[in-house]
């Protein structure tokens, strides 16, 4: 009987440790694609904490600098156009909207 009293707390602690360590989950990633220009598709992937964009096999962050660079690389707007800056801003807004859709889908899962 004395041996059971010694091993029971050790067994309970071990089961508790296994139960607690098994509760970690990996964040669910949700991805959404959109055609920004003919033949130019951007994919936005989000978890519940961060988002990224992928275009032409290259990943870009969700920060303003990365979105500006991606909007420029898409080539939907000619640099010589008088409305170039406004058009790039519109593309960045579309990227923001795409990431919000992906983020809301990752929260639902």
Contact 33, 42 (CB under 8 A): yes
pLDDT for the residue numbered 20: 59
State the Cα–Cα distance between residues 47 and 45, nearest whole angstrom: 7
- DSSP-derived letter for residue 79 is T
Tens-place pLDDT, residues 21-80: 555 556 688 999 999 988 899 999 998 889 999 999 999 999 999 999 999 999 888 888
- DSSP-derived letter for residue 29 is -
Residue 84: CB atoms within 10 A of its CB come to: 13
Instruction: Give the list of residues 6+ apart from residue 86 with CB closer than 8 angstroms, or none.
Output: none
The answer, as to whether pTM is greater than 0.85, is no
> Domain coordinates of the chain in residue numbers?
30-108
């Amino acid at each position: 009987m004395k041996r059971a009293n010694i091993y029971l707390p050790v067994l309970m602690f071990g089961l508790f440790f296994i139960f607690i360590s098994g509760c970690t989950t990996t964040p669910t990633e949700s991805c959404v694609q959109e055609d920004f220009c003919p033949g130019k598709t951007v994919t936005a992937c989000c978890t519940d904490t961060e988002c990224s964009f992928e275009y032409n096999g290259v990943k870009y962050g969700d920060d303003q600098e990365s979105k500006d660079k991606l909007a420029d690389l898409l080539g939907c707007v000619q640099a010589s156009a008088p409305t170039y800056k406004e058009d790039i801003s519109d593309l960045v807004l579309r990227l923001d909207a795409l990431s919000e859709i992906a983020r809301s889908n990752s929260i639902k899962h």
